[in-house]
Amino acid sequence: MQRFEKARIVITGGTGGIGLATAERLVAEGADVLVTGRDPERLAGVGARAGITAVANDAADPDAADALRDAVEVTFGGTVDGLFLNAGLGAFQPLDAVDATELDRQYRVNVRGPLLQLRALSPLLADGASVLLNTSVLNDLGMPGSAVYAATKGAVRSAMNVLANELGARGIRVNAISPGPIDTGFMAATGLAPDEVDGFVAQVVPRVPLGRMGRPEEVAAAAAFLPSNDASYVTGSELVVSGGIS
């Protein structure tokens, strides 16, 4: 089934994990996809795949939003049918270890990044296009040590509600995907040591009703639903893919 035949879709943070799995799913369904990332080796590998254009872009850099718009104009001729603002990062620490530097670091990428990217790209969105944001079940879980990360993702969810109203007049739908514990390597990227990651997984998995970590392709399947015509009357919604932990 080719739900995205000839669709032009942008995925930020698309060289690994959920972003790459979603890019692969959309390409398999007929889309042309532009992904962003920061790692040159990953960009080269992903960009060599059929149907995917890979562009170096850092969501933490406010000037990179306009650079992304320029790259999209060159790649897609100035029109985009779908946008998945997926780039993000996280770190976990108790309240007494939180400082301004860490707050700023996570807010730059997780909140400021997607808002500036959407502002830059919104003139290129076709009427009836779809915007997808990446939130997190940590919005609701109250997990110790996640105050900063959960706050950034809660901010994204709140922004989604506003954006769905602002862009609705153009028929543009704005939704969010809310992953639970997914085996993407995200925890290692938070700065935890390997034994700490193993300990985190050992604590979390027993709380998941399905009894396991999720796979990136399982989130990608849900992420591909929201921009499709199958979700043509869905906007301002957050779809949770968590194995039931939330």
Q: Which residue has the higher pLDDT, 191 or 84?
A: 84
pLDDT for 42 equals 96
Mean pLDDT confidence for 223-232: 97
Poorest-pLDDT segment among 22-31, 36-45, 140-149, 172-181: 140-149
pTM of the shown model: 0.94
Poorest-pLDDT segment among 22-36, 46-60, 151-165, 175-189: 175-189
Rg of the chain taking only CA atoms, in angstroms:
17
Poorest-pLDDT segment among 29-43, 45-59, 103-117, 137-151: 137-151
Determine which one of 84, 92, 149, 186 is catalytic: 149
Q: Which of 130, 133, 134 is nearest to 170 (CA)?
A: 130
pLDDT for 185 equals 73
Question: What's the half-sphere exposure (Cβ side, CA atoms, 13 Å) at 174?
Answer: 24
Is 233 considered catalytic here? no
pLDDT for 229 equals 96
For residue 183, is pLDDT > 70?
yes
pLDDT for 184 equals 85
Mean pLDDT confidence for 162-166: 98
pLDDT for 201 equals 79
Q: Residue 66, SS3?
A: helix
What beta strand segments (E) does the chain contain?
A: 8-12, 32-37, 52-56, 80-85, 125-134, 173-179, 238-241
Residues for the chain: how many in total? Answer: 246
pLDDT per position as a tens digit, 16-70: 999 999 999 999 999 999 999 999 999 999 999 999 999 999 999 999 999 999 9
pLDDT for 16 equals 96
Mean pLDDT confidence for 145-160: 96
In the structure, what pLDDT confidence band is assigned to residue 192 with cuts at 50, 70 and 90?
low
Residues 119, 66: Cα–Cα separation, whole Å:
9
- Per cent of the chain over pLDDT 90 is 84
Mean pLDDT confidence for 236-241: 98
pLDDT for 199 equals 75
Give the list of residues 6+ apart from residue 214 with CB closer than 8 angstroms, or none. Answer: 179, 180, 181, 182, 183, 241, 242, 243
In the structure, what pLDDT confidence band is assigned to residue 140 with cuts at 50, 70 and 90?
confident
pLDDT per position as a tens digit, 62-96: 999 999 999 999 999 989 999 999 999 998 889 99
